[in-house]
Structure 1
Amino acid sequence: MKINHKNNYIQKIGLIALCSGLFVLPACKKSFLDVDPQAQQPAVTFWKSADDATKAVNSIYAILRSNDNTGFPAIAIESVGGDDAEKGSDPNDATYYNSYNDFSVTATEGQLQGFWNGQYKNINLCNQVLDNVPNISMDASLKARYLAEAKFVRAYSYFRLVRAYGDVPLRLNVPKDASEFNIPRTPKAQVYAAIEKDLNDAAAVLPQSYPSADIGRATKGAALALHAKVAMYQQKWADVLSYTNTVMTLGYDLFPNYEQGFRLNNENNIESVFEIQCEIIPSIAGSATSQYSQIQGVRGTVAGYGLNVPTATLAAAYEPGDVRRDATIIFRGETTPQGDPIPVTVPNPMYSQKPYVPFNLINTSFNQGAQQNVRVMRFAEVLLMNAEAANELGNTALAKTSLNRVRARARGGVAGVLPDVTSNDKEVLRQAIWKERFVELAMEYDRYFDVIRQGRAATVFGPLGWKANKNEVWPIPSNEIDISAGTLTQNPGY
């Protein structure tokens, strides 16, 4: 059953002035706010009580559903570069996405700045919690948990940055004076080390689960699973195996019905390791900020803009009988499992089904589908990371067990389709696991970086314009270099 209040803490975060001088660097603009200034609490009276700590931590979760984190910039940086997604919509709509599709993007393109800003806003909110909450007199265990939650989100944000840009400025405290604002890029190895430290700290404190009012907060499983993913990008296979083995003992499982697992009434289900919590709360004007579903909704219907659509390559990648194909792709002319007819006149032949909200549940007074949670990490990915690590370390039996567990659900209970992978050949298994990641995690903002870390980008993306020794990362936003007066340097080739 869906918890309609989507956790009590989400209702509270609409009251937080996310961009007052209290929470964000002085460069932050008031236009970022959706909250009436009269509701803002002056910084001088803040950081005094446990309630202040709660508000500050809640603000971290609130900003995760912002456009910079899940909307237009995130789609540009994390999705349309992959071969599972392309721009879509009408030809003249959001044409800047074309430069990510064909890798012609330059450092002045605005979505680069939006994504950069989004991650550093997250980090700044986390740093303010980590700098100030330790000095508040409050319950010690709650204080420790709040600090762990902030470290988890900071690690998540830095992971997104280092994947996208390579070396990035590593800021682990709020600047105390002007001299601490302009800092150079930190080598990515040091950024990864800081991410791993935060995740170790978080996993040691975070609970395995929460009561219903707090479902959606970061858990021990989320910290361990994210750590496994961070380790995977560094090819630390023993760590990946260790962390995923532990997560596999924490009570997660695959949700039986793949398509239903993405619907509103099954948010935060048994497969969910971490979701960005989204909701429409009419009484809080700043609560319904997510554009995740709206941007990707079927154009030509009530659903949205029709951007970030599946590719023909993705549609052709599924094996016969794989239920994930129809659960991932809305086809022009079909009727969805929820009964929505998709007109044959819509501009694109395919749309993403994972962000889909049934038309009768769309509230047109807000962003379409603003109540749809964003699935950041699912147990299926934990199993596939476990399979990949086991294979790399020579544990063929475990690799096949974890891989075939994911494939079994994709059969949809139909015998004779998607047979188990039985090969004991390491390279054959590696390719099978990579293929399974492609179809299982399609349109979930991972494919582009997956192919790069696998060392296959020149082959997979080369025909689209991808160039080695350049497109492994995106350009640093030119404005960041300009305002740093040269302290920040540009990535090679840009």
Structure 2
Amino acid sequence: MKNIKRCFVGSKSWLIMAVVIACSLASCQKNILDKQPLSALSDASFWKSASDAKLALAGVYNSGAGYTGYNFWAGTSMVNLDLMAGDGSEKESIPDHFTDGTLNASYSFVGAYYSGAYNQITKCNNFLDHIDGVTMDATAKNVMIGEVRTIRAYNYFNLALYFGNVPLIQHVQTVEQSNSNTQTNQAGVYAFCETELKAAAALMPPSVPDAQQGHMTAASALAILGRLQMAEKKWTDAAQSYQTIMNFGYYIIDPRYRELFLNAGELSHEVIMSMQYIQNTYSHSLLQYLTPETWGGWHQYSPFNELVQDYECMDGSTIDKSPLYDKNNPYNNRDPRLDFTVMINNRTKFRGTTYSSDPGTNKPDRLDEYPGVWSGYAIYKFLEDDPTLGNVSNDGNNFPIIRYAEVLLGYLESQLESGAPITQSLLDQTINKVRGRAAVKMPAVTTTDKDALRTIIRRERHIEFAFEGLRYYDCLRWGIIGSENNRQFTGMKLTNSPSTYTQFPVDANGFYLYKKRAFITGKNELWPIPQSEMQINPNLKQNPGY
């Protein structure tokens, strides 16, 4: 099942060699002396054959994977992006500090996202600076170049999205050069990414065989391009990018949902781009943050009830309008994706045991075990039912970065915002395919009213992609990141008699009053340039307010 990993990291010795090569060839990053270790391969002796190029390409990919690190690839950091955007929190309050008014340039996790992206960009630049000298098949070489240009553009797009103006570095630099770069404005970085992604898409095939899953493809480049164009509100261009992927005829909406995030769905043709892992060789520990303590995890991530409330009832109506909604049994008769995504007290069964977070019990995950630092809900989406496949500290599940569902919903939104006619046929080709997958079977959308449909599309993206790393991006481009975070958040349902309940603070509907954030509008839309970078490079200018 993990054949692409065999291509890149098929054994520990191959992985170690790939990583060593990538590190030794990633010349001259900030804070690293420009000195070639005597025990490492040099650029002059390495870039000769196709096998050298393959190893270097493996190093580029591996540099983005992370184990528990923060970058724009690793599962932990992608989940955190959604938590930051108002979907949840965790015990150490990492996501809270991005949107509660306390964010500052010295915060280590800001620096981790920034340095993680530039670390991979450096390796991309090194690859592109040397690949022309390699003797190998020209077509295969061009595909590799397309893959690396896509990876580099993906990182630059995210840097510009979250940090604004950033250094746009396209070649390996000396230490002196890297410590004196100036910033390119966000629009300039976006323009660079758009050019790169279009060029890269032309070099790569639309898809790859299952044995090569994990490689960038034309669909990967175009899907990233679609994200970029939507962020820029280039609606007609974005629609065209997504339409091209649809016209490939390769990608599908999988009839399954939960399995897409487990080993069973890793080869699904719904997955366009994913971070690759393999148990015992190149694993990750996302599950230690997701798995409740009942099953041996370090339970840190917990959703907010505001996400839970966004799931429609099974009749396709929101909870404030549906006759199926029962305020005393709020989790019944809901969109099936709720139970596939969120672990709910006394409802979710996992590995033969019912999850319990009831306060006042002796259960490991009881609410009062960690008062004030978690909501009573857990994330179920990525938890592998088979404990031999989903070990909390040695998990091999891939993490999907882009799915075909995003292409269809992005196409519909772009058509809507461009002013194109909205027909039932268009709805059936896009959002209704996503909602109608066999495991979900939510009622078809029929309205063509622009305002009503916009609300439905935004809710559908929220639900369909929960904890996949898209929510912050969506909230930024929709201009709602402040309103989504500057409010009181709630947790699990604690009582049907809120007026007489005293054990924990609850709202008028009996939900636990959990966290409050205070997003600073006009400031927190951009993250600060890390203070460590500001101290090294006097040419960098800080974002307003930091």
TM over 0.5: yes
| Equivalence for 1:446 | 470
1:25 aligns with 2:14: no
| Equivalence for 2:531 | 478
Percent identical among aligned pairs is 28
Partner letter of residue 377 of structure 1?
A: I
Instruction: Determine the C-alpha separation between the residues in 2 that align with 1:39 and 1:329.
Output: 49
> Which is further off, 68-77 or 457-466?
68-77
- Judged with a 3 Å threshold, the aligned counterparts in structure 2 of structure 1 residues 490 and 372 are, in CA distance, closer, same or farther, namely same
| Equivalence for 1:433 | 457
- Judged with a 3 Å threshold, the aligned counterparts in structure 2 of structure 1 residues 339 and 383 are, in CA distance, closer, same or farther, namely farther
Contact 1:76–1:111 (CA under 8 A) maintained in structure 2: no
1:182 aligns with 2:176: no
| Secondary structure, aligned partner of 2:302 | strand
| Equivalence for 1:396 | 422
Partner letter of residue 519 of structure 2?
A: W
- Judged with a 3 Å threshold, the aligned counterparts in structure 2 of structure 1 residues 229 and 20 are, in CA distance, closer, same or farther, namely closer
- Among 404, 407, 411, which residue is 1:386 paired with? 411
Instruction: Determine the C-alpha separation between the residues in 2 that align with 1:86 and 1:95.
Output: 6
| Secondary structure, aligned partner of 2:247 | coil
Instruction: Determine the C-alpha separation between the residues in 1 that align with 2:274 and 2:4.
Output: 15
Instruction: Determine the C-alpha separation between the residues in 2 that align with 1:25 and 1:213.
Output: 34
1:405 aligns with 2:433: yes
- Judged with a 3 Å threshold, the aligned counterparts in structure 2 of structure 1 residues 173 and 194 are, in CA distance, closer, same or farther, namely same
| Secondary structure, aligned partner of 2:83 | coil
Shift of residue 300, structure 1, vs aligned partner:
4.4
Shift of residue 80, structure 1, vs aligned partner:
2.4
- Judged with a 3 Å threshold, the aligned counterparts in structure 2 of structure 1 residues 109 and 359 are, in CA distance, closer, same or farther, namely farther
| Equivalence for 2:295 | 301
Shift of residue 127, structure 1, vs aligned partner:
0.7
**TM norm structure 1:** 0.88
| Equivalence for 2:313 | 320
Instruction: Determine the C-alpha separation between the residues in 2 that align with 1:121 and 1:430.
Output: 38
| Secondary structure, aligned partner of 1:81 | helix
Shift of residue 98, structure 1, vs aligned partner:
3.1
| Equivalence for 2:103 | 105
Q: Which runs of 4+ in 1 moved over 6 A?
A: none
| Equivalence for 1:33 | none
**TM norm structure 2:** 0.80
- Judged with a 3 Å threshold, the aligned counterparts in structure 2 of structure 1 residues 337 and 306 are, in CA distance, closer, same or farther, namely closer
Shift of residue 221, structure 1, vs aligned partner:
1.0
Shift of residue 56, structure 1, vs aligned partner:
0.8
Q: Which structure has the larger Rg over C-alpha atoms?
A: 2
1:489 aligns with 2:513: no
- Judged with a 3 Å threshold, the aligned counterparts in structure 2 of structure 1 residues 108 and 180 are, in CA distance, closer, same or farther, namely closer
> Which is further off, 202-211 or 459-468?
459-468
| Secondary structure, aligned partner of 1:261 | helix
Partner letter of residue 61 of structure 1?
A: Y
Instruction: Determine the C-alpha separation between the residues in 1 that align with 2:352 and 2:205.
Output: 39
Instruction: Determine the C-alpha separation between the residues in 2 that align with 1:292 and 1:281.
Output: 14
Shift of residue 480, structure 1, vs aligned partner:
0.7
Shift of residue 308, structure 1, vs aligned partner:
3.1
Partner letter of residue 404 of structure 1?
A: N
Instruction: Determine the C-alpha separation between the residues in 1 that align with 2:385 and 2:84.
Output: 28
| Secondary structure, aligned partner of 1:309 | strand
Partner letter of residue 388 of structure 2?
A: L
Instruction: Determine the C-alpha separation between the residues in 2 that align with 1:403 and 1:76.
Output: 24
1:272 aligns with 2:296: no
1:350 aligns with 2:377: yes
| Equivalence for 2:508 | none
1:84 aligns with 2:87: yes
Write out per-residue CA displacement over residues 17-76 of structure 1, whole angstroms, 9 at most, x where no aligned residue: 16644225344679xxxxxx9995344421122111111111111122111325598258
1:311 aligns with 2:304: yes
Partner letter of residue 330 of structure 1?
A: M
1:132 aligns with 2:160: no
| Equivalence for 2:401 | 376
Instruction: Determine the C-alpha separation between the residues in 1 that align with 2:530 and 2:78.
Output: 16
- Judged with a 3 Å threshold, the aligned counterparts in structure 2 of structure 1 residues 423 and 95 are, in CA distance, closer, same or farther, namely closer
- Judged with a 3 Å threshold, the aligned counterparts in structure 2 of structure 1 residues 317 and 73 are, in CA distance, closer, same or farther, namely closer
Equivalent residues, number:
469
1:254-265 equivalences under 5 Å are 254-265=253-264
Partner letter of residue 22 of structure 1?
A: L
Instruction: Determine the C-alpha separation between the residues in 2 that align with 1:107 and 1:269.
Output: 40
Contact 1:20–1:40 (CA under 8 A) maintained in structure 2: no
Instruction: Determine the C-alpha separation between the residues in 2 that align with 1:211 and 1:38.
Output: 39
| Secondary structure, aligned partner of 1:112 | helix
Instruction: Determine the C-alpha separation between the residues in 1 that align with 2:148 and 2:142.
Output: 10
Contact 2:26–2:126 (CA under 8 A) maintained in structure 1: yes
- Among 240, 243, 246, which residue is 2:241 paired with? 243
Instruction: Determine the C-alpha separation between the residues in 2 that align with 1:4 and 1:338.
Output: 28
| Secondary structure, aligned partner of 1:433 | helix
Instruction: Determine the C-alpha separation between the residues in 2 that align with 1:78 and 1:144.
Output: 33
1:63 aligns with 2:63: yes
| Secondary structure, aligned partner of 1:57 | helix
Write out per-residue CA displacement over residues 400-449 of structure 1, whole angstroms, 9 at most, x where no aligned residue: 23122222227734xxxx43222222111111111111111111112122
- Among 218, 221, 227, which residue is 2:219 paired with? 221
1:455 aligns with 2:457: no
| Equivalence for 2:149 | 151
- Among 330, 339, 343, which residue is 2:343 paired with? 330
Partner letter of residue 354 of structure 1?
A: K
Partner letter of residue 86 of structure 2?
A: D
Partner letter of residue 325 of structure 1?
A: L
Shift of residue 106, structure 1, vs aligned partner:
1.2
Partner letter of residue 378 of structure 1?
A: R
Contact 1:72–1:111 (CA under 8 A) maintained in structure 2: no
| Secondary structure, aligned partner of 1:117 | helix
Instruction: Determine the C-alpha separation between the residues in 1 that align with 2:2 and 2:78.
Output: 28
Contact 1:86–1:101 (CA under 8 A) maintained in structure 2: no
Q: CA RMSD in A?
A: 2.6
Contact 2:214–2:273 (CA under 8 A) maintained in structure 1: yes
Write out per-residue CA displacement over residues 322-371 of structure 1, whole angstroms, 9 at most, x where no aligned residue: 1110111122444546545435431552222232233522576xx62431
Shift of residue 469, structure 1, vs aligned partner:
1.4
Shift of residue 482, structure 1, vs aligned partner:
0.8
Consecutive unaligned residues of structure 1, counting only runs of 5 or more, are: 31-36
Contact 2:89–2:302 (CA under 8 A) maintained in structure 1: yes
1:16-55 equivalences under 5 Å are 16=18, 17=20, 20-27=23-30, 40-55=40-55
Instruction: Determine the C-alpha separation between the residues in 2 that align with 1:447 and 1:395.
Output: 27
- Judged with a 3 Å threshold, the aligned counterparts in structure 2 of structure 1 residues 97 and 231 are, in CA distance, closer, same or farther, namely closer
Instruction: Determine the C-alpha separation between the residues in 2 that align with 1:264 and 1:73.
Output: 17
Instruction: Determine the C-alpha separation between the residues in 2 that align with 1:76 and 1:315.
Output: 16
Instruction: Determine the C-alpha separation between the residues in 1 that align with 2:527 and 2:313.
Output: 36
1:361 aligns with 2:388: yes
| Secondary structure, aligned partner of 2:400 | strand
